Amino acid sequence: MGDVPLASLSLTHVHYNPHDPLSFLSAWLALVPQGLCVAYVTLIWASREAEVILMFAGQMGCEALNFVLKRIIKEERPKQILGKGYGMPSSHAQFMVYLAIYAGLFLVFRHTPVIVRSGAALHFLVRVLLALVLCLGAGAVAGSRIYLNYHTPRQVLAGCGAGAVCAFAWFFVTRLLRVHGWIDWVLDQDIVRWFRVRDLLVSEDLVEAGWQQWEAKRKLSRRGSSDHPSTKSE
């Protein structure tokens, strides 16, 4: 093994200045898209929600577009960095901006839960704040690519633009799929039903709905315990 040249797994290999705390933070921000992909798969497996699947499908389409654009434009990365592949547009920026805008559009315009714990106005405000936090996070990741010299500002701006176009376009497409009943048609297919795919996220706050079910179950359990003969005084 000592004579075999070793290769680096560049998927998580990030160059940064160890003496610069901001460079160190930027290196961690560079890993956010990989972490979000794990979160996507986890959410899909755990919730089986159609909206999460649609969002992830658009995310993968956005990544495919980035792959194609890089090989059409063929613009090199900044000379100061040893990064592999082409740099135009930035895939990190494109990934994060798509996620932030699509999720923000969903939270503000499509997510209308019936069960609202603290009132509709407060719930809507929370959703708007979450959308803003997502945009700030996308900006931080995009900025980190410039700070680490993996991309030029122009490459990052191009990635942001491509991600925004993908997000708005896919949100419009998924709206048409819902309006014309294609989502319901797919959900009625036997193979989809076998995987227990559902479409509750649009009309329900899953945390609140789950909590209400838990509370109802607990009340029944307490009522059953109080009615049990062994708990009554003789």
Name the residue ranges covered by the structural domains of the chain.
21-228
pTM over 0.85: no
As a whole number, mean pLDDT of residues 82-110 equals 88
pLDDT of residue 1 exceeding 60, the answer is no
Residues 142, 146, 151, 154, CA torsion sign:
positive
Nearest CA-CA partner of 101 in 136, 73, 64: 136
- Reported as a single tens digit per residue, the pLDDT across 202-232 is 887 777 667 777 788 888 887 766 665 555 5
Q: Give the confidence band of 234 by pLDDT, cuts at 50, 70, 90.
A: very low
CB-based burial label for 163 (10 Å; 0-12, 13-18, 19+): buried
